[in-house]
Amino acid sequence: ICARAVERALRQLQRPAGDAARVAAMLGRSVTETKEWLTPEGFSEADAGALYADLSRGVTCPVHGMARVAFDERNVYVNGRSYPLPPGGAALMATTCRERRLDMSACRDEHLARLATWLLEAGTLEIPGSP
């Protein structure tokens, strides 16, 4: 979500610049929201944590074909949900959005590991070898 899109939304909504973070979050969740019947199923927090532990050994996971993903300087947005962008997360998310895949070995940092786990919970990623 680029700054120009947020500026346009602020103008359209006739909101002050001080509302930029709130409008950006609303915009990010809105543009990634999927129809209920198209929303990829995510994993429970416990299952996502266990999957991350297995996948972090160097597996690359494709972004689910139905997942809608975006990010800005504050948040990551997936399927109408948001998560705070951690330190180092912008480069990771830029690559993930551009290539539609996530190299789990790039998520060894504690903050990026939490982001990867959340991406699994949100239904963002396909798990190699799963039906």
Per-residue pLDDT reduced to its tens digit, 85-105? 999 999 999 999 999 999 888
- Model confidence at 111, pLDDT cuts 50, 70, 90, reads very high
Question: CA 86, 66, 98, 75: dihedral to nearest 10 degrees?
Answer: -20
**Total count of residues recorded for the chain:** 131
> What pLDDT was estimated at residue 47?
80
**What is the spatial distance between Cα 129 and Cα 124, in angstroms, rounded to a whole number?**
16
Per-residue pLDDT reduced to its tens digit, 37-89? 666 777 778 787 777 787 777 788 899 988 999 999 999 999 999 999 999 99
130 has a pLDDT exceeding 80: no
Pairing assessment for the beta strands 60-62 and 69-71 based on DSSP bridges: unpaired
> What pLDDT was estimated at residue 127?
80
Q: 111, 116, 2: which is closest to 58 by C-alpha?
A: 116
Per-residue pLDDT reduced to its tens digit, 112-126? 999 999 999 999 988
> What pLDDT was estimated at residue 92?
94
131 has a pLDDT exceeding 80: no
Q: Tell me the CATH architecture of domain 1-131.
A: 3-Layer(aba) Sandwich (3.40)
